Amino acid sequence: MNKTINKVVLGTAFLFGVVLSTSAVEANTTIQQKPYLNFNPAQQAGLTRAPWTQVHLHSTANTRATMQDEATYMSRSYNNANYTNIVGWNYETGRAESWQIMPKGGAYDVGGDWNWDGWMSIEFSENIPNQKAFKQAYQAYIDTARQGAREVGANYALDDGTGYGIVTHGYASATGHGSDHNDPLPFLARWGVSKSQLARDLRTGVAFSGTAQAKKPAQANKPAPAKPKPNVKNDVDYMRQYGEVVWNKKWFTINETAKIAGIKQAFSYNLAGHHGGKYATKEEWLNNGIPVEGINRKGNKLQFKQNRMKIVGYDKKTNAIAVNVSGYTVWVDATAARKA
């Protein structure tokens, strides 16, 4: 990476911490301005200042949370961790998108002293429906990282040891400048992108440059899975053929209530498919907690106010489908939904 760089300084791009302009980057990717957080906590605390010299690459490590879920959660828990940009698949628009959700210049992201050097910290939302969607989102990831590199005056090399330009969270951790995380490489590898491929694509600006198509890593010594019997569907596939849930005004037991990320929520073991463990875990609350504003309540029973809901996500591995409740994505057990 370039050791002589054009230092990034705060200029007229910010007004009270909100980015005003929309930046068009390569391959028709547009970084949309979505100020979920209209100030930068690290700047506000006096922990970081110009010049900023790095672009940090991350992934969310949560395959069930959408881009909107991740951004909303960050905006409420920014004192624990935060980032400037997120890339992924927007189920509402049906396309890959790149968002800036917080003013650039420092973040609580890599978990080390390089927190204060990052001009742009980019999360890749791991909730991706299929390979085609991944390729589109990955191109947006490449474009956004290259845009950040240009803004700090660096080239497009990856983890080159200079401390300038594009850096993975894993590299920051391995060199003593971050936490113990190694994202985004394991996530990218699941979709067929090695570190060398990522480095090549950052240089060229073209997703999967030099390869015919992405391939998931081969699983050696494992027999091919048996083909399902004709006309036999699991409950996720059963719900997929309809694309919506009709609850038939059914009542479900409320097992726990709590206020999570500032939202009053109810938790139903039946709706969440909760098995094992006395109480719901933090991850279960984030995935399966139901905003109380979206339910009718009668004692320890709940009923969805919206009786018919579009399904916005599917996860066979956990037998879950996702619906929208009062603007929040909630994952529910597909069997419970089918039997409603």
Rounded CA-CA distance 114/117 in Å is 5
Q: Which residue has the tokens 């709706």?
A: 271
Residue carrying structure tokens 């240089």: 203
The dihedrals phi and psi of 103, each to the nearest 5 degrees, come to -55, 140
pLDDT attached to residue 327: 82
pLDDT higher than threshold 80 for residue 109: yes
What's the pTM value of the predicted model, to 2 decimals? 0.61
For residues 187 and 62, the answer to whether their CB atoms sit within 8 Å is no
Q: Do domains 14-204 and 235-338 have the same CATH topology?
A: no
Q: Judge residue 23's burial from the number of C-beta atoms within 10 Å of its C-beta, 0-12 exposed, 13-18 middle, 19 or more buried.
A: middle
pLDDT at 151 over 50: yes
Q: What's the pLDDT at 225?
A: 53
Reply yes or no on whether the pLDDT at 150 is more than 80. Answer: yes
| Residue 336 phi, psi dihedral angles, 5° rounding | -65, -40
Asked whether the beta carbons of 164 and 1 are under 8 A apart, the reply is yes
Band the pLDDT of 277: cuts 50, 70, 90: low
Give mean pLDDT, residues 108-119.
96
Q: Could you tell me the fold of the domain covering 235-338?
A: OB fold (Dihydrolipoamide Acetyltransferase, E2P) (2.40.50)
Structure tokens at 218: 């081969």
User: What residue spans define the domains of the chain?
Assistant: 14-204, 235-338
Task: Indicate the CATH number of 14-204 among 3.90.550.10, 3.40.80.10, 3.30.70.790, 3.40.50.300.
Answer: 3.40.80.10
pLDDT-derived band of residue 270, with 50, 70 and 90 as boundaries?
very high
Section 61-66 average pLDDT? 88
DSSP label at residue 311 = E
What is the mean pLDDT of the segment spanning 198-209?
92
pLDDT reported for residue 276: 63
| Per-residue pLDDT, 210 | 58
What is the Cα Rg of the chain in Å?
21
Q: Which of 100, 64, 60 is nearest to 81 (CA)?
A: 60
Please tell me the least confidently modeled range out of 6-10, 128-132, 142-146, 323-327.
Answer: 6-10
In this prediction, residue 274 has a pLDDT band, given cuts at 50, 70 and 90, of: confident
